[in-house]
Structure 1
Amino acid sequence: MRGLVAARFSSYLCRRKPANVRSRQCSSSSYERDFQFLIYTCFSGFPDERAMEEEAERKIGWLFKLIFAGTATVVGYSIFPYLGDNLIQQSVSLLGVKDPLFKRMGASRLTRFATDDERRMKIVEMGGAQKLVEMLGAAKDDPTRKEALNAIVAIARSDEAAGALHSAGAISVIIDTPTSEDAEIEKYKAKLLKRFRDVKEI
């Protein structure tokens, strides 16, 4: 009788063991998940806090960028007039160099500077108009003539500057410029002659 009871009890324990193992496994797995979440929140912070920190950092970054841009703009407006005058003077000086490459560089820079009447007259006052006419008259190649004519076209958009170019002898120099196969050179010449006629009529 005792043997029968012992056998049944042993059989009962054997049947219960897998359930206990599964329960322990589930319990262990649950503990592991809780522990991992705790570690994650300790080092990473809660999702809402992390998002708030990122948003704050982004706004602070934009604030610094705006401050820097504003400061750079103010400084630029304060310094550029003096810097621009120096660059114009340097460009005019390049027109007097013997090397045609430097002459072309100077003329090209003056073309870019001559964006309004004030700057065009600044170029005239610094002797740029006279030197461009001399550069055109002394040019031995089409690239140099082209840059000189292009710069003269840019400066001549101002009536007063066009008058200064006329006084510097631009018309006679343009007429004496050899005919070129470069269509742009011929276009510049025709445009300038028309411009000087219009200014003269005014």
Structure 2
Amino acid sequence: MMRGLASQLASRLFGGGNNGYLRGRTYSTFRAKEELSLEEEAERKVGWLLKLLFAGTAAAVGYQFFPYMGDNLMQQSISLLHVKDPLFKRMGASRLARFAIDDDRRMRIVNKGGGQELLKMLESAKDDRTRKEALKALAALSNSDEAMRVLHGAGLVSLVKSIPDSSMEVDIQKYRSAILKRCQDLRYDTTHS
């Protein structure tokens, strides 16, 4: 009797014979899958938390160091203008043209000696590509009234007027014209050189 009752109970819970084993196994596998998905979800959430923590830390560190990197790169660009190789001079002038995006940066370039070095670079340039990069950087600096006043005092107008026209580099004429127009707009004398 006891045996019959146990077998009935087992067949009701797990089904009969091999089906009972498989059904019990399926139940066990379902529970394991559920536990795995919960673990995976927890790992995913912890992973996102760690990523956000890392990104926040990187942003805080970057916020502290990027302003100094900008000044260092600006100073390095000005230092490249001292090198004798025209390639390095062009690289320095090109960087300075990209840095000169607002009046504050333009004045920092001029105050660090970049304007004077660009004028020296333009004066000693032996090829059109070097002249073009120097004029491009000077044209970018000339968008600031204060920087233009300093550059004009250093002889910008006479130097720009003395640059020969180039049939190879049309940008030279474009930058020359932009600088001379800016001088006229600020009422600097461009007739005498």
TM-score scaled by length of structure 1: 0.75
| Residues 25-40 of structure 1 aligned to structure 2 (within 5 Å) | 27-28=17-18, 30=19, 33-34=22-23, 37=26, 40=29
- Paired AA for residue 46 in structure 1: K
| Distance of 2:175 and 2:59 partners within structure 1 | 37
Moved over 4 A (4+): none
- Paired AA for residue 159 in structure 1: D
**Aligned-pair distance for 1:80?**
2.2
CA distances 1:96-136 after superposition (whole Å, capped 9, x unpaired): 11100110111111112212211111111110001101111
Residue in structure 2 matched with residue 186 of structure 1 by the alignment: 173
- Paired AA for residue 92 in structure 1: I
Q: Pick from 81, 91, 94: which aligns with 2:67?
A: 81
Q: Percent identical across equivalent pairs?
A: 55
Q: Pick from 143, 149, 154: which aligns with 1:168?
A: 154
Matched, 1:107 2:96: no
Matched, 1:127 2:113: yes
Residue in structure 2 matched with residue 70 of structure 1 by the alignment: 56
| Distance of 1:128 and 1:141 partners within structure 2 | 20
Residue in structure 1 matched with residue 7 of structure 2 by the alignment: none
| Distance of 2:22 and 2:177 partners within structure 1 | 85
| Distance of 1:200 and 1:55 partners within structure 2 | 70
| Distance of 1:196 and 1:53 partners within structure 2 | 70
- Paired AA for residue 88 in structure 1: M
Residue in structure 2 matched with residue 92 of structure 1 by the alignment: 78
Gaps in structure 2 of 5+ consecutive residues: 1-15, 189-193
| Distance of 2:166 and 2:181 partners within structure 1 | 18
CA RMSD of aligned residues (A): 2.2
Residue in structure 2 matched with residue 53 of structure 1 by the alignment: 39
| Distance of 2:28 and 2:39 partners within structure 1 | 19
**Aligned-pair distance for 1:66?**
2.2
| Distance of 1:187 and 1:93 partners within structure 2 | 26
Q: Compare the two structures and name the one with the higher helix fraction.
A: 1
Larger gyration radius, structure 1 or structure 2: 1
Question: What SS does the corresponding residue of 1:200 show, helix, strand or coil?
Answer: coil
| Distance of 2:22 and 2:170 partners within structure 1 | 80
Gaps in structure 1 of 5+ consecutive residues: 1-25
| Distance of 2:28 and 2:41 partners within structure 1 | 24
- Paired AA for residue 130 in structure 1: Q
TM-score scaled by length of structure 2: 0.78
> What is the aligned length?
172
Of 125-134 and 105-114, more deviation after overlay is shown by 105-114
